[in-house]
């Protein structure tokens, strides 16, 4: 099947100005010439485009088109490739493909063009998978990661790791060859240091996956709080649309409402949730259950607090959510309705987190002389100390979802909370298959370090090194099977 000449529409389904039909294989140029009226493509140089017509067997013109010729091996697949640009009519696309099939082509399977590029050595498996990530990218950050991987940055990192592992293995295996002479080609401490460096690199790649996965699919953000705190108003403000119904009636939002927004190239999956309160309403109770599920899944939780409400109400809401927020999540406390406080105050005296989480006596002792208000710096200082038992990262912002005041600062805090900053110049893993292989690699390198520490025989340690090399090779495709390849490329679109 890999020797067949294949064809498929490479542009998205639907009607557009232009559609591209791609043909790849040893007979690609000859088959297109059979249905082409214009300059003979078999005489055309590589990377040249030619205007002509697609003609049916009857001699009737099907469409005016442009054929671009790419000669092997300097093409996407490494084979002869012709890309025919026709008008975007669905009927024309279908008839052109049928015409090519009648003249010797086979319709391509999902991902077959990219699989041929991998098979011909034009790219390794990690770079091939980046092609699919590039097509699916829905934000600038996801696109940037896909470009980096497609350019081979991740593959080069893995090659460096494999080279160092081979160096480590060669030292140990040389010792085995000269075991009777008791020759030591490198000290165990030096080998252990090298293994520790490899472990650190692999571990960092493993740690990057949570960030990479969030960037690739969107960072989940749960907007939570009591009824009428302003959650739906905030969602509408952030996405710039009336996605959620806003009402003064408590319990208006009874189900989750999702939308997507992009900030500085990062995509956030915003989820507006049902307000938290005691209720006998069955439907509202189900909505509150879903709220808790969204908190469990969130990377960032925005707790919207009505700054005009009392301490007891805010403390009650905190009691409901604090045990559900994942420890690795970032909590942003958004003090809402700051415009309703008057006198330029940023929040009401009773609405500091310190006052909510500590006794009245403690609160009074920390109050300043300006009407009992705590300074903004005092509140910030108390955030990570007094929100117990949550031990994750906490920040606060004062907003008015109704007027938009402070929302820009909230967006900045969302970007900071994404965690992408620390990975800005690093390789980030986005693929679950790569992550799984790296975890196995991490485990086997750990055994190498342990073996060196306990002076195990070199042949046992070398086996763990070879296992690590094996798992890294699975990522780039140096070690693979047809089943693995079939699974990977079946997820691609047909024209890619």
39 is in an annotated binding site: no
251 annotated to a ligand binding site: yes
Q: Is 446 known to sit in a ligand binding site?
A: no
Does 225 count as an annotated binding residue? no
Is 253 known as a binding-site position? yes
Annotated binding residue 496: yes
22 labeled binding residue: yes
- Phi, psi at 82, each rounded to 5°: -125, 130
Residue 272 is assigned to a ligand binding site:
yes
Q: Tokens in use for 120? A: 């011909």
Pairing of strands 330-336, 393-398: parallel
Sheet of 266-272, strand order: 257-263, 266-272, 219-225, 300-306, 330-336, 393-398
- 354 marked as binding residue: no
Query: 297 labelled as ligand-binding?
Result: no
Q: How far apart are CA 95 and CA 62, in angstroms?
A: 8
Q: CA 436 to CA 430: how far, in whole Å?
A: 11
- Residue 249 burial (CB count, 10 A): 8
* 401 belongs to an annotated ligand binding site: no
- Residue 27 marked in a binding site: no
Asked whether the beta carbons of 96 and 84 are under 8 A apart, the reply is: yes
Ordered DSSP codes for 4-15: S-EEEE-SPSS-
227 is in an annotated binding site: no
Q: SS3 of 252, please? A: coil
Distance, in Å, from the CA atom of 128 to the CA atom of 106, rounded to the nearest integer, reads: 22
122 is in an annotated binding site: yes
**Residues of 280-310 as b/e, b for ≥16 C-beta within 10 angstroms?**
eeeebeebbebbbebbeebbbbbbbbbbebe
Q: Which residues pair with 325 in a beta bridge?
A: none
User: Helices in 248-371 by DSSP H: which ranges?
Assistant: 282-297, 311-321, 353-357, 360-366
Any binding-site annotation on 240? no
Place of tokens 């080609």: 185
179 is in an annotated binding site: no
Cβ contacts of residue 264 below 8 Å, gap of 6+?
415
192: annotated binding-site residue?
no
Annotated binding residues, written as ranges, equal 22, 83, 122, 228-233, 247-253, 272-275, 496
Binding region for K(+): 228, 247, 249, 252
| Binding site feature residues for GTP | 228-233, 247-253, 272-275
Q: Which residue numbers belong to the known binding site for Mg(2+)?
A: 232, 253
The binding site for (6S)-5-formyl-5,6,7,8-tetrahydrofolate comprises: 22, 83, 122, 496
């Amino acid at each position: 099947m890999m020797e067949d000449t294949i064809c498929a529409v490479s542009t998205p389904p639907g009607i557009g100005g232009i559609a591209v039909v791609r043909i790849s294989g040893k007979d690609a140029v000859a088959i297109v010439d059979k249905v082409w009226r214009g300059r003979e493509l078999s005489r055309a140089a590589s990377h040249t485009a030619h205007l002509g017509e697609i003609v049916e067997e009857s001699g009737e013109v099907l469409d005016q088109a442009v054929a671009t010729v790419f000669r092997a091996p300097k093409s996407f697949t490494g084979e002869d490739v012709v890309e025919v640009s026709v008008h975007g009519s669905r009927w024309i696309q279908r008839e052109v493909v049928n015409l090519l099939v009648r003249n010797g082509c086979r319709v391509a399977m999902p991902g077959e063009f990219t699989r041929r590029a991998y098979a011909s050595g034009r790219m390794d498996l990690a770079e091939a998978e980046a092609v699919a990530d590039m097509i699916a990218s829905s934000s600038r950050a996801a696109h940037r990661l896909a470009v980096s991987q497609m350019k081979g940055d991740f593959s080069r990192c893995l090659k460096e790791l494999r080279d160092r592992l081979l160096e480590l293995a060669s030292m140990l295996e040389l010792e085995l060859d000269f075991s009777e002479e008791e020759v030591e080609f490198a000290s165990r401490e030096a080998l252990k240091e090298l293994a520790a460096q490899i472990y650190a690199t692999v571990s960092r790649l493993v740690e990057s996956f949570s960030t990479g996965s969030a960037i690739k699919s969107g960072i989940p953000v749960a907007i939570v709080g009591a009824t009428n705190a302003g959650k739906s108003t905030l969602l509408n403000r952030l996405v710039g649309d009336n996605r959620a119904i806003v009402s003064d009636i408590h319990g208006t939002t009874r189900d989750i409402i999702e939308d997507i927004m992009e900030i500085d190239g990062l995509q956030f999956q915003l989820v507006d949730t049902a307000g938290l309160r005691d209720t006998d309403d069955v439907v509202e109770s189900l909505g509150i259950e879903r709220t808790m599920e969204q908190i469990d899944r969130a990377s960032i939780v925005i707790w919207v607090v009505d700054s005009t409400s009392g301490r007891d109400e805010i403390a009650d809401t905190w009691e409901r959510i604090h045990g559900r927020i994942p420890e690795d999540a970032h909590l942003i406390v958004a003090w809402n309705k700051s415009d309703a406080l008057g006198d330029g105050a940023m929040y009401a005296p009773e609405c500091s987190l310190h006052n909510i989480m500590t006794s009245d006596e403690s609160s009074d002792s920390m109050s300043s002389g300006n009407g009992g208000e705590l300074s903004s710096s005092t509140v910030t200082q108390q955030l990570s100390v007094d929100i117990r038992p949550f031990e994750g990262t906490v920040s606060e912002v004062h907003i008015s979802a109704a007027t938009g005041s402070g929302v820009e600062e909230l967006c900045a805090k969302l970007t900071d909370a994404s965690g992408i900053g620390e990975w800005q110049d690093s390789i980030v893993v986005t693929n679950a298959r790569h992550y799984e292989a790296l975890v196995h690699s991490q485990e086997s390198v750990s055994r190498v370090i342990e073996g060196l520490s306990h002076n195990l025989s070199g042949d046992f340690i070398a086996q763990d090194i070879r296992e690590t090399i094996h798992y890294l090779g699975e990522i780039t495709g140096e070690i693979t099977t047809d089943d693995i390849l079939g699974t990977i490329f079946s997820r691609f679109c047909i024209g890619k």
